[in-house]
Structure 1
Amino acid sequence: MALSLFIATGLWWFEAPMWSVVTVLALGIAWLIWRMRLSTIDRIDRMDGREFELFLEEVFTALGYTVTVTPASRDFGADLLLETSDGWSIAVQAKRYEKVVGLEAVQQVAASVPYYGANEGWVVTNSSYTDSAYELAEPNQVRLIARTELEQLLKQAGFKR
């Protein structure tokens, strides 16, 4: 956006009053500084669900997993499939939520594990989980990754804050 603003500015650069040019450049620089100051988790909070899934692809790739993103619809309960170098596979349900994640997410990923032949399932959120989600996750061997642990994964993967 800032680049297109800069290019558009260049079209009338020599004909515009100097205060207009300065204003446009200052706004562009301010936008870039504001964007750079947002932490990664703040940017996640502004993503839609699919953007979050694709971002997690980057995170898990940086952490050394081989990642497959499932189709946006009819994913059978898993948004991502991870595989370690030794062949261990993980079905991941991504939940970019503003509210608490309930047991439905655990049900979805638990169902996806046998469907995809995975060894285990994870639910990853930028939020937190209900008590019932934790209760169902334990016997189904589903790992729940909440906001704090997600922030730790982001740091390990080399993302800022």
Structure 2
Amino acid sequence: MTLPDISMNGLYDAQVLIRARYLQNDYSVDTLLSLSPREFEYLIAKLYKSLGYNVQLTPPSNDGGKDVVAENQEIGRKERLFIECKRYKKNVGIEKARALVGSITHAKATKGVLIGAKGFTRATINFAKENPSVELIGGQELLHFLDENLGKNWFDLIPKYIKELKEDGNNH
């Protein structure tokens, strides 16, 4: 027996609501690592969209050192962020942070955000402390940031986020 699309969507929405309300969120860094690199980029784009930014995903390859461009045009809060997403099984190394600084300097962006699913090496963390134009978000901090801004059921909603962003013109 098959159900019409509207019924399937209703069941999916009910499942998401039940999980969000009654089940414990047990997402971990491994949850992030289970995503494809492109799904991870869409998730981060949705995160920044939820923060009030206009977002644009760059093409999957030859992206110029950025996966997402996030812009805020509000008076007093104008900024242009280059976001580089690294869904690595190991900590992100300093070379990625240095490359991001090069990208933001060259294109005159306000700030670079390096997202690391697992986290960052000590050298990368020290580099970011010395360079206020680079922000690092990774590991447990990233999971908390996702929960806080997208809700505890963000993983279940990734297909919906991708569809929304593609409809908004992010179809690279």
Same fold (TM over 0.5): yes
TM-score by length of 1: 0.70
Counterpart AA for 2:110: N
Whose radius of gyration is greater, 1 or 2? Answer: 1
Unaligned regions of 5+ residues in structure 1, if any? 1-5, 9-31
Q: Distance in 2 between matches of 1:7 and 1:43?
A: 30
Query: Counterpart of 1:138?
Result: 129
The structural deviation recorded for 1:7 is 3.0
Q: Distance in 1 between matches of 2:27 and 2:49?
A: 16
Cα 1:65–1:40 shift into 2, 3 Å: farther
The structural deviation recorded for 1:39 is 4.3
Q: Distance in 2 between matches of 1:43 and 1:132?
A: 25
Identity %: 27
Tell me if the contact between 1:89 and 1:120 (Cα under 8 Å) persists in the aligned partners.
yes
Superimposed CA distance per residue, residues 116-151 of structure 1 (whole angstroms, 9 cap, x where no aligned partner): 321111101111111111232233321111212212
Secondary structure at the aligned position of 1:73 is classed as: coil
Q: Distance in 2 between matches of 1:117 and 1:53?
A: 22
Query: Counterpart of 2:78?
Result: 87
Unaligned regions of 5+ residues in structure 2, if any? 4-14, 154-172
Superimposed CA distance per residue, residues 34-64 of structure 1 (whole angstroms, 9 cap, x where no aligned partner): xx67745453220121110011111111121
Q: Distance in 2 between matches of 1:119 and 1:82?
A: 10
**More relative contact order, 1 or 2 (CA 8 Å, 6+ apart):** 2
TM-score by length of 2: 0.66
Tell me if the contact between 1:96 and 1:126 (Cα under 8 Å) persists in the aligned partners.
yes
Counterpart AA for 1:91: F
Cα 1:40–1:112 shift into 2, 3 Å: farther
Secondary structure at the aligned position of 2:130 is classed as: coil
Secondary structure at the aligned position of 2:150 is classed as: coil
Which deviates the most, 136-145 or 47-56? 136-145
Q: Distance in 1 between matches of 2:43 and 2:2?
A: 28
Query: Counterpart of 2:143?
Result: 151
From 24, 40, 44, the equivalent of 1:56 is 44
Q: Distance in 2 between matches of 1:49 and 1:110?
A: 21
Which deviates the most, 67-76 or 108-117? 108-117
From 63, 81, 106, the equivalent of 2:97 is 106
Query: Counterpart of 2:152?
Result: 160
- Which aligned segments of 4 or more residues in structure 1 are displaced greater than 3 angstroms? 36-43
Q: Distance in 2 between matches of 1:70 and 1:153?
A: 22
